[in-house]
């Protein structure tokens, strides 16, 4: 099911690449998805886009806490007062300017009041008011929030760490995304994200394990973080944004380049 038409918005000033409407960051392992999602939101906002950032990670929400949250949405559902359009219009504006935030749930059990249809309605209503909607999805695809975020994505971004176990785990899920969830790999990007200054594997080895091309490699940035008292991460550079959003020319690695399992 296509939740939102896959239309590309007019490109913001200083960006040469069209911006997909809904961009979901998801990985089956902890790989810096939240930081990358926030950094992309900051980059798009800096170049003139009106951006909504949604925290759909029910179990480990990491984006800053604001009054517009999944807890508030769940409360409206329990009281029979949820109006997705009005709720989306009230998303709190945060720094950096141009970013409007829907925080995650402090109580994941309370968030169970939200059905997959509710999550879909919130995405659609938010997309109607913003140039781009960026979703930070939780790892567990068995949860309605994560599954809806992946299904709604015009662009699915999957960060992977340069570590053998993490790469093999991502590789297994790539097969699941393609074969079971029918994710169009033309709308997926893989990011090699260096959350540590000491990678265990190089890019070529990771590519062989994944059997898919790496679209972008993000170096370790010590100053990035979203914990209590920490600043919003620096925006992705225009070159990184272009590499992330560009149409790939080759999705899979030729058989001869596959690393041995």
pLDDT of residue 248: 52
Residue 178 lies in a domain: yes
Residue 88 lies in a domain: yes
Residue 149 lies in a domain: yes
pLDDT tens by residue, 44-55: 998 889 999 999
Q: Is the pLDDT of residue 261 over 70?
A: no
pLDDT tens by residue, 110-134: 888 999 999 999 999 999 999 999 9
pLDDT of residue 9: 42
Confidence of residue 92 (pLDDT cuts 50, 70, 90): very high
| Cα distance between residue 10 and residue 31, in whole Å | 30
Residue 61 lies in a domain: yes
pLDDT tens by residue, 73-90: 999 999 999 999 999 999
pLDDT tens by residue, 143-190: 999 999 999 999 999 999 999 999 999 999 988 888 888 888 888 999
Beta strands, E only, the chain: 8-9, 19-20, 22-25, 51-56, 92-94, 99-102, 132-137, 155-160, 188-193, 216-218
Structure tokens at 92: 């709190």
pLDDT of residue 111: 85
Residue 244 lies in a domain: yes
pLDDT of residue 17: 61
| Cα distance between residue 125 and residue 104, in whole Å | 17
Structure tokens at 186: 């033309």
Residues 6+ apart with CB under 8 A from 18: 8, 9, 10, 11, 245
Residue 10 lies in a domain: no
pLDDT of residue 148: 95
Structure tokens at 70: 């999944």
Average pLDDT along the chain = 83
Q: Do 186 and 212 form a contact (C-beta atoms < 8 A)?
A: no
Q: Which domain holds residue 117?
A: 18-257
CATH of the domain at 46: 3.40.50.300
What does the DSSP 8-state code read for residue 230?
Answer: P
Residue 6 lies in a domain: no
Residue 9 lies in a domain: no
Q: Do 246 and 188 form a contact (C-beta atoms < 8 A)?
A: no
Confidence of residue 200 (pLDDT cuts 50, 70, 90): confident
Domains of the chain: total: 1
């Amino acid at each position: 099911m296509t939740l939102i038409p896959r239309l590309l918005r007019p490109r913001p000033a200083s960006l040469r690449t069209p911006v997909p409407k809904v961009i979901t960051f998801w990985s089956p392992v902890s790989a810096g998805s939240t930081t990358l999602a926030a950094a992309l939101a900051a980059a798009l906002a800096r170049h003139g886009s009106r951006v909504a950032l949604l925290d759909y990670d029910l179990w480990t929400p990491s984006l800053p806490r604001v009054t517009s949250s999944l807890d508030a949405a769940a409360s409206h559902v329990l009281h029979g007062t949820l109006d997705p359009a009005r709720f989306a219009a009230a998303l709190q504006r945060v720094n950096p300017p141009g970013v409007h935030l829907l925080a995650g749930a402090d109580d994941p059990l309370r968030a169970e009041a939200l059905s997959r249809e509710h999550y879909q309605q919130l995405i659609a209503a938010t997309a109607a008011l913003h140039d781009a909607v960026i979703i930070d999805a939780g790892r567990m695809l068995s949860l309605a929030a994560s599954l809806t975020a992946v299904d709604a994505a015009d662009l699915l971004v999957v960060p992977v760490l340069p570590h053998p176990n993490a790469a093999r785990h991502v590789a297994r899920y790539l097969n699941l995304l393609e074969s079971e969830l029918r994710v169009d790999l033309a709308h997926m990007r893989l990011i090699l994200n260096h959350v540590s200054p000491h990678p265990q594997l190089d890019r070529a080895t990771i590519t062989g394990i994944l059997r898919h091309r790496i679209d972008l490699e993000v170096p370790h940035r010590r100053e990035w973080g979203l914990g209590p008292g920490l600043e919003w991460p620096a925006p992705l550079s225009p070159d990184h944004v272009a590499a992330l959003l560009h149409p790939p020319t080759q999705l899979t690695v030729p058989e001869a380049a596959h690393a041995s399992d």
